[in-house]
A and B are shown apart, each in its own frame.
Chain A
Amino acid sequence: MEPEKDEEAPKIGVYVCRCGGNISDVVDVERVAKTIAEMEGVAISKVHTFMCSDPGQSMIVEDIKKESLNRVVVASCSPFLHELTFRNAVQRGGLNPYLYDHVNIREQGSWAHKSDPEGATAKAIRLIAAGVEKVKHAEPLERIRLSNHQRALVLGGGAAGMKAALELARRGIPAVIIDKNAELGGHIKEWGKLFPTDEDGQTLAARLRSEVEAEKDIEVIAPAKVTKISGFVGNYDVAFERLGEGGKPGEEAKLTVGAIIVATGFEPYRPAEGEFGYRKTPRVMTMPEFIAWAGSQPNGRLTLDGREVRRVGFLHCVGSRQIEGVHKPQPDGRVNTYCSRVCCSTVLNQAVQVRKRFPSVSVLDFHQDIRSYGRGHEDYYIEASNRGVAFFRYHGDEPPEVATDAEGLVRLRMKDYLTWGEEIEASMDVLVLAVGMTPSPIGDLIDMLKLATGHDRFLQEVHPKLRPVESSVNGVFLAGTAQAPMTLEEALCSAGAAAAKAAALLGSEYVEVDPFVARVDEAKCTGCERCVEECAYSGAIVMVEKETEGGGKVKKAEVNAGLCAGCGACVAVCPTRAIDLRGWSLKEFDSMVDGLVSAAERLAAK
């Protein structure tokens, strides 16, 4: 049934936020509120220092009741921050949450027009006028209820994936883990003793694996590869292939889940040939290579190529914190500007282990900065210093030069800024490149799920602070290092948060989604089928035979809300304007334009 048209005259409450000066230092908010108060249909127009605070929100709730407002507009920050906040406040006031419009006068107002307060003030008036005209045509909408498949798919069974699955299962939500590798656990299996607890990575992975195996609500499918994902929140259809010997494709199968947690992790940065001497000599190795090699050597003396190792150097920030113009770009043309967060503590951890296990080996540390930022990490720095590790500091835009000398040893030259820029040269038996993290190669999954990635190529959350484990796709969550470089502790934290979010979603038999889908006004529909032809989503609009009052039959377009993506392609081709997007109707856009232009004219006339 169509929502009934709200016939009462609009009584709109408009609230202009100062944002503690962020807006009001530039925009004359008092003048804005006063000008808007004169608009037809505006019952009240107020200013508040922080609309998003409890008092700000309560003001809306109370005004709706006291002044019997039937529409609300808040002019504040970007809708991505607080549109939902104010919709909820409007609902608490007893109004339908969609009888609300959000106007952005901060990101697209005060912050973008700082040096033009007059212009920014006039623009705020025009934008709010547009919002006021738009909200007059807003209609009460109901969120769409769809059945929910109450289980989750976890992509990737590293530490983060296993943790997420365990958290879900313990809340009674079945989880399926799909991993491309036969053995779950991910990278921590490779690192030996982990900072900051010195627990062995293999042991920890094995413990998580046995917990997963013991959990009846977790199914593990590995090795396997996802081949297709379709559907939407509550109803994702996933096709996958079990992999046979040597990754050969095997049996195909399908499953349906309500939510997906992406925990595909990272890959260590692979230096290019010749990058700091890499692959020019076996004496330059990456951190993972060094950990594997040193871990396989007995305590006491360390030899390489039949020669005793006397000196080991660690070079920080390889593949991280790169600078455009200084470092060679990656194959996609970008440099890795980000910090990989685990390399500093890994170097300190390994330096301490070398000094403990091979006391005759001296250790050199070449860094730009030492970021031993986590709880307990600094202890490794102190211990490394106490055990005689020698530290040298280079500047990011003057990376050390690495060559081999006549004896075949590695020689490193750099300017040391702990001694005010002195040129130093050190020769060593082994140079370890502390490589950073890059995202796992999951281009296929990114395409299938339409996930967003950041400039660093890692998966991107909706909002780094407010919605840190949600992807921009409804029902798809992010866990662990698929999102950004993290220590194990951080990866497990994010996995727990993603599982909690997914569990909250999967706890109910229904999912509710935004009502912004197409709808058909049957009275206007002539059955021309242009919309069906234009629609790219099969089944989203279909022609249905209807009885007319006279007893005859006519065909009318009908929208399947669960399949409609809400793009609006159908709207533009309907010759009778029988189709519209709920919440984004052409009428609303037309009135926005009218509001904006009329305000501009009024302002110009003044």
Chain B
Amino acid sequence: MASDYSPLILVLATSSCAYPGADEVGKAHLEYSPNIHVVRVPSPVLFPTDFYLRCYMRGVDGILIASCGSDCPYTSAYEKLAKRIDALTTLMKEGGLEMERVRLTAICTVCIKAFLKEVGQMEEQLRPLGPVDRAKAEALWEKAIKELEEQAHTKAA
């Protein structure tokens, strides 16, 4: 039933900004959909492309990457992350996965409104799309893994 569908969303939230930001939302007793799950990470820069694809393949409908933005405590991590997400979206577009399923944003430790807006928007955008096409995600994931295997035998550029 389309009206009952609530997309399964992961929020990859940085330990120094977005995760405490999400805590603040709860402390203020403000609500959002319980289908939104916040996962604490030191920095999402650690995730390779195939990690995201694997999430979709397993049935995650959307991933919000909640970084620290310009407040990032790690040198140049945000820039690297932005590049990775760019590459990921290009790949998703080629493989037929909707771009709305991934989004990079910055949430600060007290950004209650920004958090609610971001997760709310993501949910709104995903609802009409319906569940993720897991077969397409799997095809992309396999491609990404194959690419890794090829890289393994070459030196860094």
- B60 x A122 contact (CB < 8 A): no
* B135 located at the interface, meaning its Cβ lies under 8 Å from any Cβ of chain A in the complex: no
Given contacts A123-B35, A568-B42, A573-B48, A528 and B27 within 8 Å (CB-CB):
no
- B47 x A567 contact (CB < 8 A): no
Give the CA-CA distance A572 to B34 in the complex, in Å. 29
- B46 x A108 contact (CB < 8 A): no
Instruction: Tell me the nearest residue of chain B to A570, going by C-beta.
Output: B46
* A162 located at the interface, meaning its Cβ lies under 8 Å from any Cβ of chain B in the complex: no
Band of interface residues on B? 35 or more
- A526 x B153 contact (CB < 8 A): yes
* B45 located at the interface, meaning its Cβ lies under 8 Å from any Cβ of chain A in the complex: yes
* A536 located at the interface, meaning its Cβ lies under 8 Å from any Cβ of chain B in the complex: yes
Report how many residues on chain A are interfacial, defined by Cβ distance under 8 Å. Answer: 58
- B34 x A107 contact (CB < 8 A): no
Given contacts A78-B23, A528-B154, A597-B59, A568 and B43 within 8 Å (CB-CB):
yes
Give the CA-CA distance A409 to B49 in the complex, in Å. 71
* A210 located at the interface, meaning its Cβ lies under 8 Å from any Cβ of chain B in the complex: no
**Residues in A whose Cβ lies below 8 Å from that of B8:** 597, 600
Partner-contacting stretch, out of A7-15, A35-43, A111-119: A111-119
- B58 x A593 contact (CB < 8 A): yes
* A594 located at the interface, meaning its Cβ lies under 8 Å from any Cβ of chain B in the complex: yes
Instruction: Tell me the nearest residue of chain A to B30, going by C-beta.
Output: A112
> Using a CB-CB cutoff of 8 Å, which residues 451-486 of chain A contact chain B?
452, 454-455, 472
| Distance in Å: Cβ of A193 to nearest Cβ of chain B | 39
* A250 located at the interface, meaning its Cβ lies under 8 Å from any Cβ of chain B in the complex: no
Q: Of A119, A127, A537, A571, which one neighbours B46 at CB under 8 angstroms?
A: A571
Instruction: Tell me the nearest residue of chain A to B73, going by C-beta.
Output: A450
Q: Of A119, A130, A536, which one neighbours B34 at CB under 8 angstroms?
A: A119
Give the CA-CA distance A195 to B37 in the complex, in Å. 51
- B74 x A569 contact (CB < 8 A): yes
Contact bitstring B15-57, A, C-beta under 8 A = 1, else 0: 0100010110111011111110111111101111101001100
Instruction: Tell me the nearest residue of chain A to B28, going by C-beta.
Output: A111
- A569 x B46 contact (CB < 8 A): yes
**Residues in A whose Cβ lies below 8 Å from that of B54:** 590, 593
* A566 located at the interface, meaning its Cβ lies under 8 Å from any Cβ of chain B in the complex: yes
Q: Of A116, A530, A567, A597, which one neighbours B43 at CB under 8 angstroms?
A: A567
Contact bitstring B68-89, A, C-beta under 8 A = 1, else 0: 0000011111001000100000
- A572 x B60 contact (CB < 8 A): no
* B94 located at the interface, meaning its Cβ lies under 8 Å from any Cβ of chain A in the complex: no
Contact bitstring A516-540, B, C-beta under 8 A = 1, else 0: 1000000000101110111011000
- A575 x B152 contact (CB < 8 A): yes
**Residues in B whose Cβ lies below 8 Å from that of A567:** 42-43, 45-46, 74-75, 77
**Residues in B whose Cβ lies below 8 Å from that of A80:** 20, 23
* A90 located at the interface, meaning its Cβ lies under 8 Å from any Cβ of chain B in the complex: no
| Distance in Å: Cβ of A593 to nearest Cβ of chain B | 5
- A114 x B42 contact (CB < 8 A): no
Given contacts A567-B77, A589-B47, A597-B59, A119 and B33 within 8 Å (CB-CB):
yes
* B3 located at the interface, meaning its Cβ lies under 8 Å from any Cβ of chain A in the complex: no
- A111 x B26 contact (CB < 8 A): yes
Give the CA-CA distance A531 to B80 in the complex, in Å. 13
* A495 located at the interface, meaning its Cβ lies under 8 Å from any Cβ of chain B in the complex: no
- A572 x B42 contact (CB < 8 A): no
Give the CA-CA distance A298 to B21 in the complex, in Å. 55
* B104 located at the interface, meaning its Cβ lies under 8 Å from any Cβ of chain A in the complex: no
- A108 x B31 contact (CB < 8 A): no
- B75 x A108 contact (CB < 8 A): no
- B46 x A114 contact (CB < 8 A): no
- B37 x A596 contact (CB < 8 A): yes
Give the CA-CA distance A130 to B40 in the complex, in Å. 12
* A385 located at the interface, meaning its Cβ lies under 8 Å from any Cβ of chain B in the complex: no
Q: Of A79, A115, A571, which one neighbours B48 at CB under 8 angstroms?
A: A571
**Residues in A whose Cβ lies below 8 Å from that of B51:** 586, 589-590
Give the CA-CA distance A529 to B156 in the complex, in Å. 6
- A112 x B32 contact (CB < 8 A): yes
* A592 located at the interface, meaning its Cβ lies under 8 Å from any Cβ of chain B in the complex: yes
Q: Of A106, A566, A597, which one neighbours B58 at CB under 8 angstroms?
A: A597
Give the CA-CA distance A119 to B149 in the complex, in Å. 41
**Residues in A whose Cβ lies below 8 Å from that of B60:** 593, 597
- B76 x A601 contact (CB < 8 A): no
- A592 x B39 contact (CB < 8 A): yes
Given contacts A569-B74, A594-B58, A107 and B45 within 8 Å (CB-CB):
no
- A116 x B34 contact (CB < 8 A): yes
Q: Which residues of B contact A (CB under 8 A)?
A: 8, 10, 16, 20, 22-23, 25-27, 29-35, 37-43, 45-49, 51, 54-55, 58-60, 73-77, 80, 84, 109-110, 148-149, 151-156
Write 20 A-B pairs (CB below 8 A) sorted by A numbering. A104-B23, A108-B23, A108-B26, A112-B34, A120-B34, A123-B34, A452-B109, A516-B42, A528-B152, A528-B155, A534-B80, A565-B73, A569-B43, A569-B74, A572-B49, A584-B46, A589-B39, A593-B10, A596-B37, A597-B8
Additional A-B contacts beyond A108-B23, A536-B77 (9; CB < 8 A): A80-B20, A123-B37, A454-B110, A529-B155, A529-B156, A567-B74, A592-B39, A597-B60, A600-B8
- Top 8 closest A-B pairs, CB basis? A568-B46, A119-B34, A107-B26, A567-B74, A111-B26, A575-B151, A536-B75, A123-B34
